[in-house]
């Protein structure tokens, strides 16, 4: 091996090492960044998660086949109150072709109160462990979130807070295509 090829070999090896290190670093940065983000990202995969229904039965939800609507809400939350009418409207319009999950992040007993007072037209659930659920869905409480998950289990739409007239039209347009 002559001098020039040795120099080239060293440069290529160094570049390769830098590339591997940078890639590993970027992957770890992206993971930590993703975890530190306040909300889920569009097209992010949502795996299965555990919920407890109104009868107290535990069920594992696997988002597949049918697209799903996930409404996250709690009791002391003004955007949630404003969205309830719209959520009921979505449930009335798309309950045949989509699954609906109203997820309550509140103290035990809130489910009965919300069912009675707000006249919700979709099934309600509570996560068995609120802390785990909030970190998985990257939620900030008290907060309202409207999430649409496609049949492939990926986030197709996400809106934290109050839904506007534009959001409503966008959601209807999206869901009518399913």
Partner 1 sequence: MRKVLILLLLAAFLPGSEHNITVIKNPKANIIEKPAIPLKHVRTIPLRLANNVFNIDPISATADGDGNIYLYDKFICQVRKLDKNDNLLSTIDINSAYKSWQIKKTRRPAFIQYSRNHGLYVYDPMMTTLLRYNKQGKLIERFEKVPFINRIVVSPDGGVLLPEFIENDLVFKCLGKKNVLFRINDYKHEFLFFKQEGAYKFPPRGLFLAGSYFLYLDRDRILIFSIYSSRLILLNKSENVTSNKLLCPKEALDSFYHELLLRKKETFTKVIPFYFNPFFNLNEKLLYVQSRIKTGKSTWGNYIYVFDICGTMNHRLVFDDFKNKYINFLVKNDQEYWVLVNKKIYIFKEET
Q: For tokens 């830098």, what's the residue? A: 18
Q: For tokens 């940078």, what's the residue? A: 22
Residue 8: both structure tokens together:
């080239």
- Does residue 95 interact with partner 1 by CB under 8 A? no
Classify residue 81 as exposed, middle or buried by CB count within 10 Å of its CB (0-12, 13-18, 19+).
middle
- Does residue 115 interact with partner 1 by CB under 8 A? no
Q: How far is the CB of 23 from partner 1 (least distance, A)?
A: 44
Q: How far is the CB of 134 from partner 1 (least distance, A)?
A: 28
- Does residue 78 interact with partner 1 by CB under 8 A? no
- Does residue 164 interact with partner 1 by CB under 8 A? yes
When binding is defined by CB under 8 A, the residue of 119, 140, 141, 152 that contacts partner 1 is 119
- Does residue 85 interact with partner 1 by CB under 8 A? yes
Q: How far is the CB of 166 from partner 1 (least distance, A)?
A: 9
- Report the distance separating Cα 139 and Cα 131, nearest Å: 10
Question: What b/e readout covers 104-119, taking b as 16+ CB neighbours within 10 angstroms?
Answer: bbbeeebbeebeeebe
When binding is defined by CB under 8 A, the residue of 92, 129, 135, 140 that contacts partner 1 is 92
Classify residue 102 as exposed, middle or buried by CB count within 10 Å of its CB (0-12, 13-18, 19+).
buried
- Does residue 96 interact with partner 1 by CB under 8 A? no
Window contacting partner 1 (CB under 8 A); options: 29-37, 41-49, 102-110, 163-171: 163-171
- Does residue 158 interact with partner 1 by CB under 8 A? no
- Does residue 53 interact with partner 1 by CB under 8 A? no
DSSP 97-108: TSEEEEEE-S-T
Give residues in contact with partner 1 (CB under 8 A): 82, 85-86, 88-89, 92-93, 119, 164-165, 168-169, 172
């Amino acid at each position: 091996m002559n001098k020039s090829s040795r120099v080239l070999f060293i440069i290529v090896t160094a570049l390769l090492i830098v590339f591997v290190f940078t890639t590993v670093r970027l992957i770890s940065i992206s993971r930590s960044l993703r975890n530190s983000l306040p909300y889920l990202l569009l097209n992010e995969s949502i795996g299965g998660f555990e919920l407890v229904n109104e009868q107290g039965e535990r069920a594992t939800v696997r988002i597949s086949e049918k697209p799903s609507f996930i409404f996250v809400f709690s009791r002391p939350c003004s955007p949630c109150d404003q969205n309830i009418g719209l959520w009921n409207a979505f449930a009335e319009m798309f309950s045949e072709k989509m699954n609906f999950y109203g997820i309550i992040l509140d103290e035990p007993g809130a489910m009965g109160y919300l069912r009675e007072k707000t006249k919700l037209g979709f099934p309600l659930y509570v996560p068995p462990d609120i802390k785990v659920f909030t970190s998985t869905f990257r939620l900030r409480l008290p907060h309202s979130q409207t999430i649409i998950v496609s049949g492939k289990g990926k986030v197709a739409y996400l809106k934290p807070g109050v839904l506007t007239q534009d959001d409503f039209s966008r959601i209807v347009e999206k869901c009518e295509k399913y």
